[in-house]
């Protein structure tokens, strides 16, 4: 069995990838705690009717702190995604998954990665990401997995994940 996907990356894909990455980091816990603390302080002071006693800068700072991670950060990330997507808009990506490797072709580059050398293979709700090392990877957005009106994402994920597991086991046996 072989899978082949031909697609382009857009700003939504880049934004979703960044949000997925942020949510998977330990700092996301800090973001949640910080936001909750800001909301608790605001609500407590509103209920005690002391919020209006604060100077305008303190009130604005509290509101800014409450909105920083759930509203402001995603807006800034989306703007950054727009800029990054403009650079990628003309790049067509062809990914082929065969028995031994992943072949990646773009307008200017052809690469082959053996399954044993895949750094990480991550399934998110809205995409799959193939990591070639700790920094470089390829976003595979949800939309490319729709074939004849149904998703093949889970089937594809299991296929590639098993190829990676088998290749790594063979590599371990070879190194013994």
Q: What is the pLDDT of residues 63-79, one digit of tens each?
A: 999 999 999 999 999 99
Checking if the pLDDT of 155 tops 90, the result is: yes
CA–CA distance, 71 with 69 (Å, rounded to integer): 6
Instruction: Examine the pLDDT at 38 and tell me if it is beyond 90.
Output: yes
pLDDT of residue 95: 97
Q: What is the distance in angstroms between the CA of the first residue and the CA of the last residue of the chain? A: 30
Q: Average pLDDT, whole number, for the chain?
A: 95
Tell me what pLDDT residue 108 has: 87
pLDDT of residue 142: 96
Encode pLDDT of 109-128 as tens digits: 999 999 999 999 999 999 99
Helices (H), the chain: 11-24, 27-47, 56-67, 73-88, 153-175
Say how far apart CA 147 and CA 150 lie, in whole Å. 5
pLDDT number for residue 175: 84
User: Residue 137 and residue 150: Cα distance in Å, rounded?
Assistant: 26
Query: What pLDDT does 120 receive?
Result: 96
13, pLDDT greater than 90? yes
pLDDT score recorded for residue 1: 66
Confidence at 174, pLDDT banded by 50, 70, 90: confident
Q: Kindly state the DSSP code that residue 71 receives in the 8-state scheme.
A: I
β-strand partners of 114: 101
CB 115 within 8 A of CB 101: yes
pLDDT digits (tens, 9 = 90+) for 136-149: 999 999 999 999 99
């Amino acid at each position: 069995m072989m899978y082949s996907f031909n697609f382009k990356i857009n700003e939504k894909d880049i934004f979703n990838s960044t949000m997925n990455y942020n949510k998977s980091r330990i700092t996301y816990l800090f973001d949640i705690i910080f936001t909750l603390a800001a909301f608790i302080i605001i609500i407590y002071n509103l209920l005690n009717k002391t919020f209006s006693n604060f100077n305008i800068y303190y009130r604005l700072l509290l509101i800014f702190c409450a909105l920083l991670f759930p509203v402001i950060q995603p807006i800034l990330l989306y703007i950054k995604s727009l800029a990054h997507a403009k650079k990628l808009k003309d790049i067509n990506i062809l990914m082929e998954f065969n028995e031994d490797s992943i072949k990646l072709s773009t307008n200017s580059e052809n690469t082959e990665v053996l399954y044993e050398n895949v750094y990480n293979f991550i399934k998110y709700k809205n995409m799959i990401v193939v990591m070639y090392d700790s920094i470089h990877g390829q976003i595979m957005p949800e939309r490319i997995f729709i074939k004849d009106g149904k998703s093949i994402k889970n089937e594809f994920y299991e296929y590639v994940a098993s190829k990676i597991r088998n290749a790594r086991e063979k590599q371990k046996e070879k190194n013994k």
